[in-house]
Amino acid sequence: MNTIFENKKAVVVGGSSGIGLATAQILANSKAIVTITGRDPNKLKQLQQTTALQTQAVDSTSREALDAFFKQTGPIDHLVISVSGAKGMGNFAELSLQDLREGFEGKFWPQLNTLQAALPYINKTGSITLITAISSIAKKPGTSGLAAINGSLELMVPVLARELQPIRINAVSPGVVDTPWWNFVPEEAKQETFKQFTGNIPAGRAATATEIAEAVIFTLSNNYMTGSVIHCDGGFSLM
Ligand SMILES: NC(=O)c1ccc[n+]([C@@H]2O[C@H](COP(=O)([O-])OP(=O)(O)OC[C@H]3O[C@@H](n4cnc5c(N)ncnc54)[C@H](OP(=O)(O)O)[C@@H]3O)[C@@H](O)[C@H]2O)c1
């Protein structure tokens, strides 16, 4: 077994579900010491009881809560930021700008809040990975708001790679992924939506959370990766 993560300290913010949880589980299976965060204490309690993950309820919209959390974790080797909201989608002519604002409040600001609070604690040999979204470049009608949120984060990555060196920072930009993020859609309609969005892309289907987590793990483990945005989208952005 690869031992590069053995006894390394990793924090996965937004790690109680979906891509964050899949990443945390790979890291824990590789013997890293992993703490996950999220807002829902019940979800975290269940994971604390059933996995090797340490859990802590921290709302990434609160800088105060984040400061207290990172003070408690102390130095860390790897930080993955997987939080998101779900707002900001729709054709621009009808898009509620209030919804778009809430989209930024749910993803852009919490990711930056987390990153800034964590910086003093990230080891010089460590890494940071943001989870963005392929809407940043996919040019799909109805996604200009999501392009703004995720594109803004992705544009920051190369600049931060220079500012934060030698700490590495990258982003993983997924296409459609079958995670609880989609739970607002009833199961049958969800399968229909996936078919609509991904039926014609080269991969022909939505990704699993683990497939995206494997791309995240690559950014953590490869010491030569920094300032990059990895598109793990099954070819979604080619269409
Ligand atoms: N699923 C997709 O199709 C897809 C596609 C492209 C990009 N992405 C991106 O991938 C990332 C992960 O999404 P996912 O699909 O894995 O979603 P998910 O299953 O809904 O997981 C999101 C995680 O973030 C946590 N979270 C949300 N807001 C938070 C906050 N303010 N503070 C702390 N934790 C918070 C959630 O826990 P609580 O709710 O308990 O807080 C949960 O652990 C997101 O950035 C999303 O935009 C997803």
Mutate which of 84, 157, 198 to test ligand 1's pocket (most atoms within 8 Å of Cβ)?
84
Q: Is residue 78 part of a domain?
A: yes
- DSSP reduced 3-state for 10: strand
Whether 21 is in a domain gets the answer: yes
- Looking at the domain assignment, is residue 168 inside a domain? yes
Q: For position 190, what pLDDT does the model report? A: 96
Q: Judge whether 69 lies within some domain.
A: yes
- Residue 102 within a domain: yes
Residue 133 counted as domain residue: yes
Which residues have C-beta within 8 Å of that of residue 109, sequence separation ≥ 6? 61
Give the count of alpha carbons within 13 A of 238, CB side only. 11
Average pLDDT over residues 193-222: 98
Q: Is the pTM of this model over 0.95?
A: yes
Average pLDDT, the chain: 97
Does 2 have pLDDT greater than 80? no
Contact 25, 33 (CB under 8 A): no
141 prior amide bond cis, ω within 30 = no
Its domain, for residue 38, covers 3-231
18 φψ region: left (φ > 0), alpha (ψ -120 to 50), beta (else): left
For a pocket test of ligand 1, which of 179, 197, 205 has the largest count of ligand atoms closer than 8 A to its C-beta? 179
> Is a pLDDT exceeding 60 seen at residue 175?
yes
Quick: pLDDT tens for 90-140.
Answer: 999 999 999 999 999 999 999 999 999 999 999 999 999 999 999 999 999
Angle at 112 between CA 107 and CA 114, to 5 degrees: 95
Q: Which residues line ligand 1 (CB under 6 A)?
A: 14-20, 37-40, 43, 59-61, 82-84, 107, 110, 131, 133, 174, 176-177, 179-181
Phi-psi region at 234: left, alpha or beta (left = phi > 0; alpha = psi -120 to 50): left
CATH number for the domain including 157?
3.40.50.720
Number of domains in the chain: 1
Question: What's the confidence (pLDDT) of residue 1?
Answer: 57
User: How far, in Å, is the centroid of ligand 1 from the Cα of 10?
Assistant: 18
Of 92, 137, 88, 91, nearest to 239 (Cα)? Answer: 137
